Structure formats: structure tokens, C-alpha cells
Amino acid sequence: MLYVKTKLKKSKISGIGLFADEPIPKGTLVWKFDPNIDLLLSKEEIEKLSKPAQEQIYKYGFLDAASNKFMLCGDDARFFNHSPQNNCDDSQADITVAIRNIIPGEELTVNYKDFYGCIENLSFLI
């Protein structure tokens, strides 16, 4: 669940991005897993879903290393894009924190390596 005010718009990184709609000071909790909003699904549970639903989860979800399940954010947090110069930290289980001051209009980014490990081969998602 997002804890800061954001908006979606076209990203220079990829497709749609998540952008700050207010100043976000360094250390601010940006997102936290909420089982009332976010889904954790095993690969077996995903395989029981329709093909379009599976594609949605693999496109917008990620493999959560702590649970070894796929997490799909139920809010706009699924639009965090990857950047090696990320401004948010996803390395702690179930939370995302601003690692520097973020100004309104700036895209919120995470380093996908924090939860995927090696991002060069994500073919398991296809």
C-alpha cells in the first residue's frame, strides 16, 4: 500500500511510471505490504488462473524472495520502474523507503536486483 501521494504518467524509463505528487523526504516509508490490498501467489496458484490473469501477474508482479511467491501490488505501486540509480530502497522485506529526498514530479524507482537478484535473465516470468 502506498503511503505517499503519487500519480501515474508516461515514463522515460519504460511505459507508465509512478511519480511523486508531493515532496518525499529521505527515510519516508513509501510503500508497505498490506494483505488486504496486495496479493502473494505461488506459481501453482498462478497456473490455475486464466492466461490473461497470469500475464497480468507476471507483467506487474515480482518474485518476493522472502516468501518465494509472486507479489502483485493492488495499488499503483506496481508501476515502480527499475533504475540502477534508484531513489527508493526495496531491499527490506515488505517495505519500500525513500533513500534520498524526492521532489514532486520525480519518478519513483527501485533497483529490481533488490528483489529479483540477477535481472539479466527473467525468462521465468514468461
Under-50 pLDDT residues of the chain: 117-126
Fold category of 6-117 in CATH: Beta-clip-like (2.170.270)
As given in the structure block, the three cell numbers for residue 118 are 540477477
Category of 27 on φ-ψ map: left (φ > 0), alpha (ψ -120 to 50) or beta: left
Helices (H), the chain: 43-47, 51-60, 113-116
At 112 the pLDDT is 82
> How is the chain split into domains, by residue range?
6-117
Cβ-contact 110, 119 below 8 angstroms: no
Q: What is the pLDDT of residue 68?
A: 83
Alpha-carbon distance of 121 to 57, in angstroms, equals 18
CB neighbours of 12 closer than 8 A, spacing ≥ 6?
A: 107
